[in-house]
Structure 1
Amino acid sequence: MNKARQPFAILCIIFLMSTLLLACSSTKNDEGNAAANTAAGNTAATAAPTAEATAEPAATTRSYTDYKGHTVEIPVNPQRIIYSGETYGDLIALGVQAIGYPLSMAEGQVFKDKLSGVEDVGFPINLEKTLELQPDLIIYAGIEEADFDALSKIAPTIIFDTFAPLKERMQEIGGILGKTAEAEAWLAQYQTQEDAMWAQLKASGMKEGETAAVFTYYPGDRLFVMATTGLSQVLYGENGFKPTAAIQKVLDADMGFQEISMEVIQEYAGDRIFLLTPVAEEAKASTDKLLESAVWKSLPAVKNGYVYTQDIMKTSSDAATREWLLGEIPAMLSK
């Protein structure tokens, strides 16, 4: 009996010894892993402050080249802007308010009541007032190098093309002001509104292929036909009126307007005529003279009652005015 149990006892001893060896081995492995993890953690903890210490701070300025070729360091997000140009409504459309602007340019504009708190920098721009306002960016529509040099001594200054097409201009000013997303959103919304306006007008009787022309007088008895500026930019949209052949030549030449004589007005007049009421009294007198002329009364649009008038100051090219015109054009045509 005792002999029979001896081999079993020996097997038990061998099993227990094996178990102890495995346990010891596992403990050493666990201790090794724990030590390795601790070391790795210490290394990471040591490395983190180093990485943070070497991180580059966010840039506050960037290089910008304006359309006249001046390369200037401008703020990434300008906060104190002086804007001297015809298209202040572009800023309003982006929810931006300048600290300074030539307020005389706002007379008669659709956005005049939205300039609360904006200081008048005069036109031509007053350098002393500009310096007093301490701008961090000056956006200037003039082209005189002497003006650019003088303004550049006050703050970073760029020359901005206010005569560029609406889309191009809004994308550019959006980038300058750090409002790229807002500019794209506004353009998309504007296109939707414009498409809806033309659909409404065509449903109300506007015929496919109808032509239109825009005229106005300037002092000196000077008659102009409008092309790539103001109201005509809206009228000649993709789904809008067509220019007459004579006006198309002016558009092809990328001209904002062209002076013509009363004697050739028939060549430019379309199925519908939009007459812009000028500001100057002399120009108003010239307009009255045109309306009484035999040439004017012989035009088909005049005979058919398709003549519409609008204050020239409310037909500017800026974004705020363009948006306003989308509601005004249907109102004009319904009269």
Structure 2
Amino acid sequence: MIKRKPVPAIAAILLLVSLALAACGGAGSANEAASPSASASQGKAFRSFQTAKGAVDIPVKPQRIVTDYYGGELLAAGGHVVGVEPSAFDNPFLKDLLKDAQDVGAPINTEKVLELQPDLIVVMYDDNYDALSKIAPTIHIPYNTAKNIYETVELFGDIVGEPEKAKRFIADYEKKAAEGRERLKGVVDENATFGIYELTDKGELWTFGDNAGRGGQALYNALKLKMPEKNRNDNQTLQLSMEVLPEYAADYMFLTVYDPENKGDKLKELQSSAVWKNLDAVKNNRLFINDFNTFYRYDPIAITGQIDLFADMLIERNRENQK
């Protein structure tokens, strides 16, 4: 992580107070309706937004947004992100879009946020919510508030005041999904099953549903490929033992490997096991090992990009298997 020069304590306190006073002066009553109200101090319009922590007055059109884990969601809806947590910069779908944004740490570093002078802060985790709220209007959106790409884009389109951009994003997503389904006609059997799995650096093996990252929304919701019936569960994830793995296997299997130190030992162990070697997907060359950073992502921009990635790999593997 890059270390950044801290703001001197006195300067930080003065800036904190001035920003807090400006935000308070610009916000209307927390009990007023959601219609815009003029801010006398900043010349901005504000509205009341209901959150898990109650109503918060936020800019109707925020111009400088800081977030922890909602960079992709905000960008998909047309938001201007100036600060985000560090792992977002490893997201291959967001790198170009975040070229002018700053790393604000994880958990968020309040001094860095002060430097960026945001007019809105959006957080998944509320560890330092009170401190951030003194810098700018802060809204807490807990993890899994939205259950799919439609709910997500609509929610964040509302937050950034860009509902029309949100609608356009969804229209583009639906077009991409339809194109992907068309490309796969005749490539995979419509009755074939497709499973998503992950191996951890501790040797744990998990299966994933349609809303836990790893490409689930692209595979199951966009491309409408069939999940093994036994893999469906309310928790979206399920840890498997090697003994029961064949019961949760699929005709096509997609594996990500969480291996932050790049040791590779757990994957070698898995691939050398008799249970793994005897899976139909392995024997039929329908097992795919997918890049963790690419398929872990579940923001709307990543989901849309993953549609083509899945379609491409299935088409290419089908060609291979026909030779």
TM-score range, shorter chain: 0.7 to 0.9
Say which is worse superposed, 159-168 or 315-324, in terms of deviation: 159-168
Aligned to 2:150: 167
Matched letter for residue 208 of structure 1: E
Q: Cα–Cα, structure 1 residues 325 and 280, in superposed 2: closer, same or farther, change >3 Å? A: same
Provide the rounded CA distance (Å) in 2 between the counterparts of 1:322 and 1:242. Answer: 17
Compare the two structures and name the one with the higher helix fraction: 1
Provide the rounded CA distance (Å) in 1 between the counterparts of 2:53 and 2:37. Answer: 29
Provide the rounded CA distance (Å) in 1 between the counterparts of 2:72 and 2:91. Answer: 13
Q: Cα–Cα, structure 1 residues 284 and 108, in superposed 2: closer, same or farther, change >3 Å? A: farther
Larger radius of gyration: 1
Matched, 1:271 2:255: no
Residue pair 2:68, 2:122 contacting (<8 A) in 1 also = yes
Q: Cα–Cα, structure 1 residues 239 and 313, in superposed 2: closer, same or farther, change >3 Å? A: closer
Q: So what's the TM-score if we normalise by structure 2?
A: 0.78
RMSD in angstroms over aligned alpha carbons?
2.0
Aligned to 2:200: 218
Aligned to 1:42: none
Matched letter for residue 75 of structure 1: P
Provide the rounded CA distance (Å) in 1 between the counterparts of 2:257 and 2:291. Answer: 5
Matched letter for residue 290 of structure 1: L
Say which is worse superposed, 104-113 or 258-267, in terms of deviation: 104-113
SS class of match (1:262)? coil
Residues 114-156 of structure 1 show CA distances to partners (whole Å, capped at 9, x for unaligned) of 3122111111110111122221110001144xx2122112111
For structure 2, the residue ranges without an aligned partner over 5 or more in a row are 1-35, 40-44, 318-323
Aligned to 2:163: 180
- 1:306 aligned residue (286, 289, 306): 286
- 2:88 aligned residue (105, 115, 129): 105
Provide the rounded CA distance (Å) in 2 between the counterparts of 1:281 and 1:295. Answer: 26
Matched letter for residue 124 of structure 1: P
**1:70 positional shift:** 2.6
Matched letter for residue 64 of structure 1: F
Aligned to 1:44: none
- Number of equivalences: 271
Residue pair 2:78, 2:162 contacting (<8 A) in 1 also = no
Q: Cα–Cα, structure 1 residues 224 and 57, in superposed 2: closer, same or farther, change >3 Å? A: closer
Residues 37-75 of structure 1 show CA distances to partners (whole Å, capped at 9, x for unaligned) of xxxxxxxxxxxxxxxxxxx97571111112x24311111
Q: Cα–Cα, structure 1 residues 57 and 159, in superposed 2: closer, same or farther, change >3 Å? A: closer
- 2:190 aligned residue (183, 198, 208): 208
Q: So what's the TM-score if we normalise by structure 1?
A: 0.76
Matched, 1:120 2:100: no
Residue pair 2:218, 2:304 contacting (<8 A) in 1 also = no
Describe how 1:1-335 pairs up with structure 2 within 5 A: 60-66=45-51, 68-85=52-69, 87-144=70-127, 147-163=128-144, 164=146, 165-203=148-186, 205-227=187-209, 228-230=211-213, 231-237=215-221, 240-248=224-232, 250=233, 253=234, 255-281=235-261, 284-315=264-295, 316-333=297-314, 334-335=316-317
Q: Cα–Cα, structure 1 residues 279 and 94, in superposed 2: closer, same or farther, change >3 Å? A: farther
Matched letter for residue 194 of structure 2: A
SS class of match (2:285)? coil
Residues 144-178 of structure 1 show CA distances to partners (whole Å, capped at 9, x for unaligned) of 4xx21221121111112453221101100000101
Q: Cα–Cα, structure 1 residues 239 and 151, in superposed 2: closer, same or farther, change >3 Å? A: same
